[in-house]
Amino acid sequence: MELASRLRPALRSAALMASLAALPLQADTLRIAIMGEPASLDPHKISGTWENDVAGDLFEGLVTEAADGERIPGVAESWEISEDGTAYTFQIRQDARWSDGEPVTAEDFVFAFRRILDPATAADYAYLLYPVKNAEAVYGGEAEPETLGIEALDAHTLQITLERSTPYFLDQLSHYTAYPVPQHVVEEHGDRWSRPDNLVSNGPFKVQRWQSQTRIEAVRNEHFHDADSVALDQVIYFPIEERNTALNRFRAGEIDVAREFPTQQYGWLQDNLPEATHTAPFLGIYYYVLNSREGHPTADPRVREALSLAVRREVITEQILGTGEEPAYSFVPPGVSHYEPATLDFADMSQDERMARARELMTEAGYSPDNPLQLNLRYNTSEDHRKVAIAIAAMWEPLGVEVDLFNSEVAVHYADLRQGKFDVGRAGWIGDYNDAQNFLSLLESGVANNYGAYSNEEFDALMREAAETQELDRRGEIMTEAERLALEDNATLPIYYYVSRNLVNPALQGWENNIEDIHRSRWVSFED
């Protein structure tokens, strides 16, 4: 019987993937290659997407994600939102339990929110909770933790008060920054509470072992409120930075899911493992920052527009990348809830028309082959970034633009961007939550990640208006208007929308492509 159950997955997948010997150690163990070693298992001490893969299996927030990425009730079975959109009252499940059997209470959430906003915790991502009343003041030491807008009305009723109406707040509650932490365990073990021996979690799985840089093993949490519907007995996460290693291990049947396969292998994978190769639209934009600061040629809107007009985005997505990316003519990627992106004016023009217009603009701006525009273009180390930068420099050449390419590793690159030491800089943004505000806020005046220092009062005013609008569709329209303004100004140069790239054992059921590329092991099972 045991042997049969061990062999079953191999027989299943053999029919679909002749080259994949998908023979798991046991039928109900899922093996995932994540993109790196987690910094911690403490949800307050992480900031990466690969960490989210683990944390989201071990913990559950008030709201959680379904297999398709939609938000569904998590620890909270229901909630009410006040008319002005500033007070959320959650009913916490009576059967919500920590993995040690203790109940998950409203107090655990109060404790967790105060902890992540305590400067002593040094949480990178604490600012995601700034919509909560007094959160920023508490973090800055200007208000007592007790004044934070979160209160346990009783053991199973939690109230969160916001600074102002924040329509995307419910989505944010599924993010790991809003996960509860077990007060009784944190108080007992201090900072060592998240060590595998001590860790108590409330998600569908609980950690069993963490062998640093090798594997994290989690087993089903029998105290999880929906434990009966969890099919897997065990999940093993392998931190593998080398994408080719993950691909080889997938091909050898050593893992069932490999996150982010190497782009260079896409063609081979399509030919040889089509059933296993998943690409899907992803909530992210690859763009070039155009420095709007005085003294840079890109401060001139005509130059920015000309540069944008000359970029042949389809050539980049189809011929240079070729992994299903879509050319970007808006800054907010498609598929965002309650949002219709604005598009660049020239999206419908032919390339010849675009180039003619670009030449006119450059002439107006005072540049010509006799007086070429000198630009420095910075990008961080990656083969794809390099290829895109070279191609774009070549596309600008007919305009008489002379480009100096600067490559640096990621820390140096972003240090240079934040100091404004560039004309054009590569950047990307993956949405933290499914809302247009998360992207458009990058273009608000004075915002930390607004590397190009774009500033438009009208844009800022529209964003403020959107923040105060509760009706979701109307709010979306206002933000579309703001985006249109930014696109008219060519605040940035959108290039393409990201795609998620995963290799998934075809024997797996319940693994669905989704725009946020979030896949909780809770929904996954092996075929019978």
DSSP track, 200-269: ---SSEEEEEEETTTEEEEEE-TTSTTGGG---SEEEEEE---HHHHHHHHHTTS-SEEES--GGGHHHH
Query: Contact residues for other proteins (CB under 8 A)?
Result: 21, 37, 39-42, 45, 47, 119-120, 122-124, 126-127, 136, 139-140, 192, 194-195, 211-215, 238-242, 244-245, 248-249, 251-254, 408-416, 418, 427-429, 448-449, 451
One-letter amino acid at 479 equals M
Distance in Å, CB of 522 to other proteins, minimum: 24
Strands 525-526 and 424-430: unpaired
Q: Smaller CB distance to other proteins: residue 97 or 251?
A: 251
Q: Smaller CB distance to other proteins: residue 397 or 409?
A: 409
Q: Smaller CB distance to other proteins: residue 437 or 469?
A: 437
Angstrom distances, CA of residue 98 to CA of 115, 157, 172, 183, 211: 18, 17, 22, 11, 23
How far is residue 241's CA from residue 430's CA, in Å, rounded to a whole number?
19
Distance in Å, CB of 258 to other proteins, minimum: 12
Distance in Å, CB of 53 to other proteins, minimum: 16
Distance in Å, CB of 418 to other proteins, minimum: 5
Q: Smaller CB distance to other proteins: residue 243 or 278?
A: 243
* Residues whose CB is less than 8 angstroms from the CB of residue 328 and which lie 6 or more positions away in sequence, other chains included: 285, 286, 287, 313, 494, 495, 496, 497
How far is residue 232's CA from residue 222's CA, in Å, rounded to a whole number?
12
How far is residue 231's CA from residue 414's CA, in Å, rounded to a whole number?
43
Q: Smaller CB distance to other proteins: residue 55 or 106?
A: 55
Distance in Å, CB of 408 to other proteins, minimum: 8
Q: Smaller CB distance to other proteins: residue 266 or 396?
A: 266
Q: Smaller CB distance to other proteins: residue 366 or 428?
A: 428
Angstrom distances, CA of residue 519 to CA of 64, 225, 312, 391: 11, 19, 33, 34
| Radius of gyration of the chain from its Cα atoms, rounded to whole angstroms | 25
Distance in Å, CB of 45 to other proteins, minimum: 4
Distance in Å, CB of 264 to other proteins, minimum: 13
